[in-house]
Copies of this chain bind each other. A is one copy, B any other.
């Protein structure tokens, strides 16, 4: 949880943190889980959650006891997406990717030093990975989407992240030694697309391509995931070309996500 409250109102920071955690999993989170992840005390978390729920920002499933994003978030999200017409712009590409490859296709956005999965389109192939779904966050440089984006970020920003790699990578530091990441970034710049050979979860492979905003910055990514046998050498070129083709169609059509 590397969020530095900037000034004043740290309640805002706490609330935002809780919302983010709840928003990571569509099925929601339990109180203890939120206490653990947020680092706050139980009474505080409980009170904030209750208040947020009474405002409609969260929902509390009495049955399972889990907290999920509420209807007001849905409403606001609907308004926010007027500025980012993802369904219109990215969805068709995901449909084509999933359709032509059979794998599951994803659309992610860069948020600071993270990527967040925004859209998912299931493929037809019967074995599917559920590591990635809407709301899942990875540090930049981890997983195919984050690698595709980081590879095309300005060098000084890249170095900033790599300089303190273990901290940045957090729980993924083990499976992603700095040298491997650097090599992967280099490879990505060469090929134009990234390959994640099951580093996040063994056997669960992925490939990604960066999508650039109007200002030419890598702000989004398309990616595919599936099991290892579907990402063998001979198929990679085909998948990579497809990803880059679709990324190219979206390039420049989405506003930069400032902030």
With A26-B79, A73-B80, A259-B71 in contact, do A55 and B16 touch (Cβ < 8 Å)?
yes
CB within 8 A of A51: which of B7, B50, B75, B83? B7
CA distance A57 to B16 in the complex (A): 8
The reply to whether B72 and A16 form a contact with Cβ atoms under 8 Å apart is yes
**Size bracket of the A interface:** 35 or more
The reply to whether B8 and A116 form a contact with Cβ atoms under 8 Å apart is no
**Chain B residue with minimal CB distance to A53?**
B259
With A8-B50, A11-B11, A26-B83 in contact, do A257 and B71 touch (Cβ < 8 Å)?
yes
The reply to whether B79 and A69 form a contact with Cβ atoms under 8 Å apart is yes
Interfacial chain B residues near A60, Cβ < 8 Å: 259
CA distance A69 to B80 in the complex (A): 6
The reply to whether A72 and B118 form a contact with Cβ atoms under 8 Å apart is no
**A229 touches B (CB below 8 Å):** no
**A48 touches B (CB below 8 Å):** yes
The reply to whether A51 and B116 form a contact with Cβ atoms under 8 Å apart is no
**A74 touches B (CB below 8 Å):** yes
Interfacial chain B residues near A103, Cβ < 8 Å: none
